[in-house]
Structures are given as C-alpha cells and as structure tokens.
Chains A and B, each alone.
Chain A
C-alpha cells in the first residue's frame, strides 16, 4: 500500500519550508452514517516531524481537524540532503511514518 503521507521540504537560506498532506478519515465521532448510527471517533492525535533525529515540530490534533489534513510550517537549521522523518499516531493506535530528504 502506498504511504499515507506526502511531504515536500525545501531549504532556502536559513529556513526550511515543509508542506505535508496526510490521508486520514479524521472522523470526529459526532457524525452519523446513512443508517443513523454514530461513526466512532477516528482521528490523528499526534504528528511529529524530525530533522536529522531532532524534533522540529509536534502537533496534537483532535476531532476538529479536517479529513486528509494538510500542514505547512518552516524551521531554522535544516539543510539540503538532511533527512526529515514524519510520523503520526491516531486514537486507535494506528500509525505511519516516512522519511524524506530536504531539497
């Protein structure tokens, strides 16, 4: 199966800009299906970005975050060719991670 994470990180000068898209249903737990039953909450709880092993960004997400969330941020200190590791864990314990190179 293809990865649930898309990422693009580009270094320019001192800062590195990161964009990422994660495929996830992000069910809030408040929505009903066609039969009128509640769809149980199923959402990402933590997302972490590590550049060369050092955590540069952590997000604590909840039911209010949209389906297939997109995140964009920048940090100081990354350089071209560095490893950027992205990982997420959801409330059912599922997780995924991938490593990309900073361009």
Chain B
C-alpha cells in the first residue's frame, strides 16, 4: 500500500513537471499555431478575408453582403460617432483631444497593455475614461453612443493592420494567458467555450447563423447586427455570447473580457481593420 502511494506520488511529480513546461507562456508560438490552424482549415480563404467573418466562409452570404455594403446600415452610426467626437464637453475639450492623432486611424493600436497600471486598456475603456476625466457621464458599454464612437474610429482606421504588442512584462504575459484561458474555458449550462463555436465550428450553422472564425473576429467590431436591429460593441458581443451559452455574463470591461480582447486582437495581428461591420 505504502509503495503504491509512493509510486503515484512520483508519477504526479513527473506530470506536474511536464505540464509546467507546456504551460510556459509563449504568445508568438500560439500566434503561429492559431494562424496555421485557420489557414489549413480554410485553405481557399485569403488571409485578409478572415476579417469579414461569416462572409468569408459562405458564398451566398458573401453576395448579399456585397450588396449590403453599397448601402451599409452602420452608416448612420459612423456619422453620429463623428459628431460625438467633435462635440465639445462642458469644459470645452472634445473626445478627439483624449486620443493620439485626434482619434483618427488608431483603432489598430487597441487594446494595449498599460505598464503604469499593469492592466489591459481597451478602446471602449479609453473612451469612457476620457469622458470621466473631463467630468462627463460615461457611455453604456453596450449602448449606441459607445458603438457610434468606436464605429467612427474603426471606419477611419480601415485597412490598417492590427498592431498589438505584448511587452516583455510578466503582468502583460499573465493578462495574455488569462485571456487565452478564458477563451478556451467552457462555461454556461450548454458548456460551450468561445472556442467551441469560433475555433471548432466556424463556417457551420448554429440555428440559422453562420459562425465566424475566431481569426480576425474583432477586426470588424463594432457591428450592425440585423438580428439586434442595431449596433453592438465588443462588450455587447461578449456579454450576449455568454448569455447565449446560458452562462451569467460578467460586467462589461471586467478583466476577463479585456484580457480575452487582448488575446484575440494579438491573434489577429497583421490583419486589416474592417469595422464597422454588418452582420445578419
């Protein structure tokens, strides 16, 4: 009996060791594996086309989308975003003053890791911080104003490749790893992870919807969902995804969501911003 325990303890020690080696955080290696997975799953899709989500994997949808893009439903949001960016606050400053280059063409640099605070700053968080610092009321993370402002920022950044940096800082690597874990962690009554749909089954139907590949999925945000009859932010997408698998969503911009945004955006490095998008 005692011998048996000893042996199992020894086995455990060996496993623990090898698991530790496999767990060492290596974003570059993940990046290569992630990309290779999608390219071998969809050999016909050009790399840059992944940013068009379901339209890249379904020919019929692609045709509908081309027609839709002639008269895109997110047009009104882009205009409203432009207005909101230029509208002076009570103190005379504007939203544009809070951002580098007046908020034009900067979408691809978010989210970034802030070394001072030791956390990931997303574009949506930066927008609300700007409002708070200037004594204004912050927007709802899932509401139309946030979607409009980020839509305008994405629109002016179209075509620019995602440029997410993970500094050589253990906290940044931990945030990355945390986001990755959240992405692959199963949850909810349906026991789905983000990856169950967007890595395992992109291009398949879930009810009547085509699932988008995880690669480049954030490049098109924010989106006009016909199903929602309106615009949705990244926060709205994450929280509603969690509800759809019958889980309890976290609060928008909680650390988990910011980290998963960081992970997914890093995976999409080099792919062009295509937002705002229109989705069925």
Which A residues have a C-beta under 8 Å from some C-beta of B? Answer: 2, 6, 8, 19, 21, 23, 66-68, 70
| Interface residue from A19, A23, A66, A68 paired with B70 (Cβ < 8 Å) | A19
Beyond A2-B80, A2-B83, A23-B76, whether A67 also contacts B229 by CB under 8 A is: yes
| Interface residue from A2, A8, A19, A67 paired with B79 (Cβ < 8 Å) | A2
Asked if B71 is an interface residue, CB under 8 A from chain A, the answer is yes
Q: Which A residues lie within 8 Å of B79 (CB)?
A: 2
Q: How many A-B residue pairs have CB under 8 A?
A: 21
| Interface residue from A19, A21, A66, A67 paired with B75 (Cβ < 8 Å) | A21
Minimum Cβ distance to chain A for residue B64 (Å)? 13
Inter-chain CA distance A66–B226, complex, in Å, is 10
| Interface residue from A6, A23, A66, A67 paired with B71 (Cβ < 8 Å) | A6
Q: Are A19 and B73 in contact (CB under 8 A)?
A: no
Inter-chain CA distance A102–B80, complex, in Å, is 26
Minimum Cβ distance to chain B for residue A89 (Å)? 20
Q: Which A residues lie within 8 Å of B75 (CB)?
A: 6, 21
Inter-chain CA distance A62–B70, complex, in Å, is 26
Inter-chain CA distance A6–B77, complex, in Å, is 13
Q: Do most interface residues of chain B lie in helix, strand or loop, or is the interface mixed?
A: helix
Cβ proximity bits B66-93 to A, threshold 8 Å, 1 near / 0 not? 0000110101100110010000000000
Residue of A nearest to B83 (CB): A2
Q: Are A19 and B80 in contact (CB under 8 A)?
A: no
Given contacts A6-B75, A21-B73, 6 further A-B contacts (CB under 8 A): A2-B79, A8-B70, A8-B71, A21-B75, A68-B229, A70-B71
Inter-chain CA distance A68–B70, complex, in Å, is 15
Inter-chain CA distance A68–B228, complex, in Å, is 12
Minimum Cβ distance to chain B for residue A68 (Å)? 6
Inter-chain CA distance A2–B229, complex, in Å, is 20
Cβ proximity bits B197-227 to A, threshold 8 Å, 1 near / 0 not? 0000000000000000000000000000000
Minimum Cβ distance to chain B for residue A63 (Å)? 14
Q: Which B residues lie within 8 Å of A68 (CB)?
A: 73, 76, 229
Beyond A2-B83, A67-B229, whether A19 also contacts B76 by CB under 8 A is: no
> What 9 A-B pairs have minimum CB-CB distances, sorted nearest first?
A2-B79, A67-B229, A23-B76, A21-B71, A19-B71, A6-B75, A68-B73, A70-B71, A6-B71
Residue of B nearest to A23 (CB): B76
Q: Which A residues lie within 8 Å of B70 (CB)?
A: 8, 19
Minimum Cβ distance to chain A for residue B119 (Å)? 32
Residue of A nearest to B75 (CB): A6
Minimum Cβ distance to chain B for residue A100 (Å)? 13
Minimum Cβ distance to chain A for residue B76 (Å)? 5
Residue of B nearest to A68 (CB): B73
Inter-chain CA distance A19–B230, complex, in Å, is 20
Q: Which A residues lie within 8 Å of B230 (CB)?
A: 67
Inter-chain CA distance A67–B224, complex, in Å, is 12
Inter-chain CA distance A23–B79, complex, in Å, is 12
Inter-chain CA distance A66–B71, complex, in Å, is 16
Inter-chain CA distance A23–B76, complex, in Å, is 8
Inter-chain CA distance A19–B68, complex, in Å, is 11
Q: Which B residues lie within 8 Å of A21 (CB)?
A: 71, 73, 75
Q: Which A residues lie within 8 Å of B83 (CB)?
A: 2
Residue of B nearest to A6 (CB): B75
Q: Which A residues lie within 8 Å of B73 (CB)?
A: 21, 68
